[in-house]
Structures are given as structure tokens and as C-alpha cells.
Chains A and B, each alone.
Chain A
Amino acid sequence: MKAEEYTERNETVDTWPIHIVTYRLGETYYCTIDNVDPGARFARAEGTTREDAERVALEKAQRYLRQTRRFPTGT
């Protein structure tokens, strides 16, 4: 078995840059999303199609990112 249809791309969700990696292993598509800076993976999903896996992972990413607060730094 090998990772097939491997793709990477960057998008922005609610002003946060994200990096989306999707690939297929056997019959299952896997999508993982990291936050670019610092690069921590924080959402993932799997599905029978690329679209399903990415849609669910993006929904999770959006939900988690909305909980991230920005604080003043005095700069």
C-alpha cells in the first residue's frame, strides 16, 4: 500500500493560515490540517471521497480556530 493522490495546499480560515494535506490509502481518503505557524496538526478526518474527508476536516478546523483568542501585545 502507498499513499496515492497526495496533495498539499494552503488556505486561510477566519484569518488563520492553514495547510491541508490529503491522500488516499487503499479505499480511504485522509485529510490533516495544520496551522502553518507553528505547524501543529489540529484537525483531521477521513472519508470515502476526497471531498468528504476535506469537508469534515475543514469544519473541525474552523470550529477550533474560532476558539483561538488574540491578545494585545503592546506593539
Chain B
Amino acid sequence: MSEDVLVSTDWVGSHLQDPKVRIAEVDVDTSAYAQGHVPGAVGWNWTTQLCDTVVRDVIPKNKLEELLGDSGIGNDTTVVLYGDNNNWFAAWAFWQLKLYGHQDVRIMDGGRKKWLAEGKELSTDAPNVPKKTYTARDPDDSLRAYLPEVMDAVKQKSASLVDVRSPAEFTGEILAPPGLPETCQRGGHIPGAKSMPWAKLANDDGTFKSPAEIKALYDGVGVKGDKPIIAYCRIGERSSHSWFALKYLLGYQNVKNYDGSWTEWGNLVKAPVEKP
């Protein structure tokens, strides 16, 4: 299964001219693309192009259709995503493309970091891509958890909650990753959640560990795919990375990303919080 959704940097290097493939870079650092990118890749800004810029939400359907069409992506295009920070926002984009039903989406294993470290070719040229018409499906909410469902899962113990933030965020020692602004009022985690930091799923070079290694990690905290899984982090991008691993590398069927995550839960009045 992982061969269908994870491609290597070498695979990408050999498909730069493939008209059936469109490569897109999505970074935390929105200036990175302009420094140099995989030749022919389009760049998507997660802060303006992969979200609703008024309401806190994913990109609206019509905006996604516009973005993909302008990026030369049709419904039958193979989309390969990559980015910095171990593909955090590439995974976020992957999740959104799956929400809207795109069939063939893949992630370049290791992301931007591995491409640079390997000394592969970079370009600063904006690609000249022919526009296409893209028709998205209605969003598939079986991939997304909203607050009421998470609250119900806590009360009923009906799902495995996976907190993929760092241990210090999980315990409430810090309210945000070190060096970043605090974006919640309370620290801790959703009651009953298991801690499985996203980084445990990755090798030093940014690639994913093997499915067997990832399965062993989740088995170790009692998350075995025998009941629904809801992954969360702070704003939903790290949990997209873990959601991807759970759903596409391990093949667990019922996995949702709670993109409201801790910036929602940790700001709610009277929401139950577990510490440490």
C-alpha cells in the first residue's frame, strides 16, 4: 500500500517531465519555495491557499477547484506533494485533497530536506503550466473529526485518541512548540488520549519509518485499528502526517484528523483537560 502513496526523491527526479504528474511544494516557511524548488513544481501557500481565509476551515471546494485547475491538475493527474518540516504541510495538503476526493495523491518521502541534502537540482523558475478544469467532490467527512464527535468519543470511549504533539505539549509543560507563539489558554491533553509524537514515525532524514516499525509503535500504546482513531495536534498539520501514516501506511480504515486540535480544545471554557 505504501508504494501507492509514498514516492522517493529518485522517483520524483525521474518524473519531472511526466505530463501525468504534477509536483507541488507546501512549506511551513512560505518563503522556501522561492529560494529554489523541485524543477517544474508549483508552490502552494498554506496560510492563504489551503484554508478558508475568513472562517477557520479547510479550503472551500470552489477555491480548491480553482487552485488545482490553475496548477495544471486535472482529476486524473498524479499529484506529488512535498515540503519542509518533514512534510507536515504536504501531509496537510494531502489530507485536504483526499477530503475532496482526489484519487492519486502521493507524498515525496523525506520532503524538501532530503531533496536538498541529496544535492538534487533546484529551480527558481515559476513553472508555466497549462490550466485545467478540476471538479472536486463534496468533502468526505469520514476523514475529518469535529469537536462534537471528539467530545462524544471522550465520554463514550468510542475512539482511540492520538495526541501527536511533543511530550512537553502533551503534559502541558509548554503551550506551544518552543520558539512559537502560545495559541491556547490551557496546557495538557484531551482525556484518554495516547501520546504518540509524530517524530517517532520518522527517520532522521525525514522519511517515514517502515509500516512494521510504525505499527509496533502504535501497538505499544494500544492503538491497533480495532476501533476508530482520531489524531490531533495543535492546528492539524502534524496530525495530518500521523493520519497519513495510520490510514495509508498501516491501512487502518477508520482514521480521522481532528484539525481543530489543541488550538480548539485548549481554548474551550470548561473542556476537560488531563495533565500530565
Interface residues of A (CB under 8 A from B): 1-4, 6, 8, 16, 21, 23, 25, 28, 30, 32, 34-35, 37-44, 61, 64-65, 67-71, 73-75
Contact = CB atoms under 8 A, between A and B. Distances in A.
Q: Is the interface of B mostly helix, strand, loop or mixed?
A: loop
Contact of A39 (B85, B120, B123, B181): B85
Given A3-B119, A38-B169, A70-B173, A65 B179 contact: yes
B225 interface: no
Q: How large is the interface on B (under 10, 10 to 19, 20 to 34, 35 or more residues)?
A: 35 or more
B116 interface: yes
Contacts, number: 100
30 contacts: A1-B124, A3-B119, A8-B117, A16-B178, A28-B35, A30-B35, A34-B85, A35-B178, A35-B180, A37-B178, A37-B197, A38-B197, A38-B199, A39-B86, A40-B85, A40-B177, A40-B179, A41-B28, A41-B29, A42-B177, A42-B179, A44-B29, A65-B178, A68-B174, A69-B174, A71-B174, A71-B175, A73-B171, A73-B275, A75-B276
Interface of B: 28-29, 31, 35-36, 84-86, 113, 116-117, 119-124, 165-169, 171-182, 187, 197-199, 238, 275-276
A42 to B, nearest CB: 4
Best-surrounded residue of B35, B84, B175 (most CB of chain A within 10 A): B35
A6 B117 contact: yes
